[in-house]
Amino acid sequence: MLAGALQPAPAIHYAPGENLEHVDVALIDRAEHEIDMAAYVLTDWPVMEALTRAADRGVNVRIYLDGTQLAEREPAKVFLELAETPDVEIRLKHKSSAPMHLKSYQIDGRLLAHRRRELFGVWPEAARQRSHCHRER
């Protein structure tokens, strides 16, 4: 890219005015080659279903989770289906280190999305404070 060239402004979305789950699913559904995701937990069923669809169409999906989700309760069926899908790799952070609060994903090396507050799932007490920002190149 040339120095001084204009880059597209990031797209910023806010809840509860916008449905951030729909934003995430739409971006994931556009993936062609790879998705790398890092999150404290992954609990949103439509997002997990979108990740499964991406892997089913040949997208390499790599997910890095804090691991607390799996230690505290039995994973949901949709999470287990995602984990068993070819082209999906799920890694867990080591339990003894500090909690991971990353809430980001990249798609095809051209789009980076970051969440303030919870990345996935619906927690009403946090809904007014959640935001989503992504930039494509």
SS3 6: coil
Dump pLDDT digits (tens) for 30-58. 999 999 999 888 888 999 999 999 999 99
Least confident of 65-69, 94-98, 110-114, 130-134: 130-134
* Topology annotation, domain 15-136: Endonuclease; Chain A (3.30.870)
Q: In what order do the strands lie in the sheet with 88-92?
A: 11-14, 131-136, 111-116, 103-107, 34-39, 60-65, 88-92
Kindly report whether the global pTM for this prediction surpasses the value 0.85.
no
What are the sequence ranges of the domains in the chain? 15-136
Per-residue confidence band for 134, with pLDDT thresholds at 50, 70 and 90: low
pLDDT of residue 126: 42
33 vs 110, more confident: 33
Q: What is the torsion angle, in degrees rounded to the nearest 10, for the CA atoms of residue 107, residue 30, residue 65 and residue 39?
A: 80
CA atoms within 13 A on the CB side of 81: 14
Average pLDDT over residues 116-124: 46
pLDDT of residue 76: 83
Dump pLDDT digits (tens) for 91-109. 988 776 677 766 888 999 8
